[in-house]
Structure 1
Amino acid sequence: MPRFDIVGQLGSLRRYARSLTRDGTDAEDLVHDALVRAYERRGTFRSSGNLRAWLLSIVHNAFVDRMRARRSEAARLDQAGYLADGSTPAPQEHSVRLAQVREAFLGLPEEQRSALHLVAIEGLSYSQAADASGVPLGTLMSRISRARAALREMEDATPSKAKNHLRIVGDPS
């Protein structure tokens, strides 16, 4: 069996977990749980496969399992998206704009946020992202399309002076 080295993948796993959970502590717990699962199931990893996509799919599945177990905590998870302290004045206009984009991204439904994160932030192909999410390719593409449309709506509602330097990643328009 080839060396099962996950240290180089920790950044991607943490970013993806943070995107899913919207909370740093929960994200670290999720990554820990996923790494335990990955280690326990390391024999199922195909040496010809993509280690990062395999690990991201374990993070995704661990998150789904947690969500099913925490239905009573859904309201708390929705509120966790507002991590930034609103009382701290932004030193520059683009900082405010970036916070608005971040809030809009975190406000997307979990399925859309997850799909867009895997493709736009982690750089996975649509096929790899679909595999990591455990959904058909068409479903993933639909989720990404709806996420981009929602972000575009938010962008269109912003005064033109503030939006001329931001672009939705991977969107040709």
Structure 2
Amino acid sequence: MPQSGDQDVRTGLAAHLVALWRFGLVLSGSGQSAEELVQATCLRALERSHQFIPGTRLDRWLFAIERSIWLNEVRANKVRNPVELDEAEAALSFDGERQFQTNILAAQVLRQVQALPAALRETVFLVYGEGLSYAEAAEMLAVPIGTVMSRLASARLRLAHLNRDTPEGASGEAS
């Protein structure tokens, strides 16, 4: 007979698949790898559903599992394929004239965020993309809250420099 944690995982898993895929895309930079990460995360979550504590946030528990799987893969492979930014951009883009400008901006932001080191990229996604508090992100990443704050400040600074150094970031005004 399943325990309540088991039941919570089984009934709540489907609601978090899209967010898990987005996080997998941030981690891996590849739509196919993101799908594989989501599948592995679902399998591990179901296998270990008895470890889920009812009353806690299922999405945070699932993100932690997904990140753990990713880190284990990175350690096992030592060398990953380079990030495929074009694939990530295509996966996040949608057809439609109304969304054309939004897609261009989203692609530019994605390109800049993907250029950040992995630790900064993960932190940016968890706090700004998924809305985790600094404390929640720190707990999930197993770092002090000050490290999360420092990573976010560093990411903002790097993104500001990238924006200033690219033609898109120039104001376009003639002197």
Structure 1 residue corresponding to 2:171, chosen from 129, 144, 160: 160
Amino acid at match of 2:42: L
Q: 2:21 aligns with which of 6, 14, 26?
A: 14
- SS across alignment from 1:77: coil
| Structure 1: distance between partners of 2:103 and 2:22 | 20
1 or 2, which has the higher helix percentage? Answer: 2
**Structure 1's 95 and 10: CA in aligned 2 closer, same or farther, altered over 3 A?**
closer
Kept after mapping to 2: 8 A contact 1:22/1:106: yes
Aligned match of 1:107: 115
| 1:37 corresponds to 2:37 | no
The whole-number CA distance in structure 2 between the counterparts of 1:152 and 1:57 is: 29
Aligned residue for 1:142? Answer: 150
Higher RCO, Cα 8 Å, sep 6+: 1
| Alpha-carbon spacing, 1:161–1:101, altered in 2? closer, same or farther (3 Å) | farther
Gapped regions of structure 1 (runs ≥ 5): 86-90, 163-173
Correspondence for 2:124: 116
Match of 1:57 among 57, 60, 64: 64
Consecutive unaligned residues of structure 2, counting only runs of 5 or more, are: 91-96
TM-score norm. by structure 2 comes to: 0.79
Report the RMSD for the aligned CA atoms in angstroms: 2.2
Deviates more, 1:95-104 or 1:113-122: 95-104
Residue 22 of structure 1 and its aligned partner are, at CA, apart by 0.5
Match of 2:73 among 53, 66, 70: 66
Q: Which has the larger radius of gyration?
A: 2
**Partners of 2:15 and 2:104 in 1: how far apart?**
32
2:170 counterpart letter in structure 1: P
- Could you say what secondary structure the match of 1:160 adopts? coil
Deviation of 1:30 (Å): 0.7
CA contact (8 A) 1:115 1:143 kept: yes
Q: What is the deviation of 1:17?
A: 0.7
Q: How many residues align?
A: 154
Query: Do 1:58 and 1:132's aligned partners in 2 also have CA atoms closer than 8 Å?
Result: no
Cα distance between partner residues in 2 of 1:105 and 1:10: 22
TM-score by length of 1: 0.79
Shift of 1:48: 2.0
